[in-house]
Amino acid sequence: MDDTYFRKTMSAILLVSLIVLSIFILKSVLISIILSFLLVFIFAPVYDWLNKYVKSPNISAGIILLFLLLIIILPIWFLTPILIEQSLEIFKETSKLDFITPLKSVFPSIFSSEEFAAEIGSIISSFTSKAANSLVNSLANIVLNFPAISLHLVIIFFTFFFVLRDKEIVVNYLKSLLPFSKEVEEKLFEYSKSVTAAVLYGEVVVGVLQGVIMGIGLFIFKIPNALFFSLMSMFLGVLPIVGTAILWVPLAIYLFVEGNSVAAWGIIIFGLLSSNIDNVLRPVIVSKKTKIHSAIILVSMIGGLFFFGILGFILGPLIISYLLILLEIYRGKAKPAVIVQESSASSK
């Protein structure tokens, strides 16, 4: 009896030790591995369709991997120099801006004091300079950290290929690790798949749509560095509450300061259109499918940002959604009502 207990204890200690060591080993590349799994989820339907005709998992996964390489590597290779050049131009322009003159014309009573106006001008100038400088530094760090970024991309691509090719084996293995009955496992994976699809596709669709709308406005009104601002608007589209307003509000102010009121009003119109689409579509696409209150999604996005960085906008809602699913299953619910509600309830 003592020998059996000793063996079990030592086995548990060994298992925990290996898990802890594995976490430390994979800590620096964990986000890359998670990102590769998310990419597998996104491209899995394409892989299944392609493999019906190719009938070779290796070739099908290889074709999709090649496509993924093209849509990631080519933009990085060709657009990074342009983005750095345009960001430097923006940094130079922000240092020349005069915000006080237009503010005095709009709010003459508030800025009647020269000392107050000078102080506000100094604060605004310092803020814009720091923001532009931070942006330039971020882009410069991408170039400086290119070797490390390349290693992360290698991990992403290799993990993506093998997980995509053997996704059925991976899913079955993950199911075998869960301490639930077969019925609970199926429910968990079914609802988790629905939640993942809603969050991933919702974030991507909304963000890209916002960027496209803003890009159209930028090119129509011939805004300098339109490509840079279009890509930035796609990136900022996933931000909760403000979204692309972080970009188009300062841009409109800049255009007013420069005296280009037509372009400024045009950017405001396209910016409002972009923001309204964000406010309408994000709760519909994400919350409607997952049936999670949009406030929970918002809080989980912000929390995910602080913990995971940019990728937290996606990981935050996913993790909170998975937790809610597990809690509902733990409560013994046949259907996790927090996540999946009846259609009549969702239509109210």
**Can you list the pairs that 93-96 forms with residues at least 24 positions away whose Cβ atoms lie under 8 Å?**
93/254, 94/128, 94/129, 94/131, 94/132, 95/125, 95/129
Q: What local confidence, expressed as pLDDT, does residue 346 receive? A: 38
Kindly state the DSSP code that residue 113 receives in the 8-state scheme: S
Q: What local confidence, expressed as pLDDT, does residue 47 receive? A: 92
Token match 């996606």: residue?
Answer: 314
Closest CA to 291 of 237, 239, 336: 336
Q: What is the pLDDT along the chain (348 residues), one digit of tens a residue?
A: 567 777 778 888 888 888 888 888 887 888 888 889 989 988 888 999 999 888 889 999 999 999 988 888 887 777 777 777 777 777 776 666 666 666 666 667 776 677 777 777 777 777 777 776 776 777 677 777 778 888 888 999 999 999 999 988 888 888 787 777 777 777 777 777 777 777 777 777 777 788 888 889 888 888 887 877 888 888 777 766 667 888 888 888 878 877 888 888 999 999 888 878 866 776 666 555 556 666 777 788 788 878 877 777 778 888 887 887 777 777 765 555 555 554 443 333
Q: What local confidence, expressed as pLDDT, does residue 347 receive? A: 37
Contact 300, 306 (CB under 8 A): no
Token match 């919350």: residue?
Answer: 287
Q: What local confidence, expressed as pLDDT, does residue 344 receive? A: 40
Q: What local confidence, expressed as pLDDT, does residue 229 receive? A: 83
Alpha-helix residue ranges (DSSP H) falling in the chain: 2-26, 30-54, 57-94, 100-106, 114-144, 146-165, 167-177, 182-220, 226-236, 245-257, 261-282, 288-290, 294-308, 312-330, 343-346
Kindly state the DSSP code that residue 55 receives in the 8-state scheme: -
Q: What local confidence, expressed as pLDDT, does residue 343 receive? A: 41
Q: What local confidence, expressed as pLDDT, does residue 162 receive? A: 93
Contact 243, 203 (CB under 8 A): no
Q: What local confidence, expressed as pLDDT, does residue 159 receive? A: 92
Widest pairwise Cα distance in the chain: 88
Angle between helices 30-54 and 182-220 (to 10 degrees): 90
Phi-psi region of 137 (alpha: psi -120 to 50; beta: other; left: phi over 0): alpha
Contact 88, 136 (CB under 8 A): yes
- Tell me how far the alpha carbon of residue 329 is from its chain's centroid: 28
Token match 């798949």: residue?
Answer: 193
Q: Give the number of C-alpha atoms closer than 13 A to the C-alpha of residue 78, restricted to the C-beta side.
A: 7
Closest CA to 88 of 255, 225, 267: 225
Helix (H, G, I), strand (E, B) or coil at 348: coil
As to burial, measured by CB atoms within 10 angstroms (0-12 exposed, 13-18 middle, 19+ buried), residue 148 is: exposed
* Alpha carbon distance 300, 322 (integer Å): 12
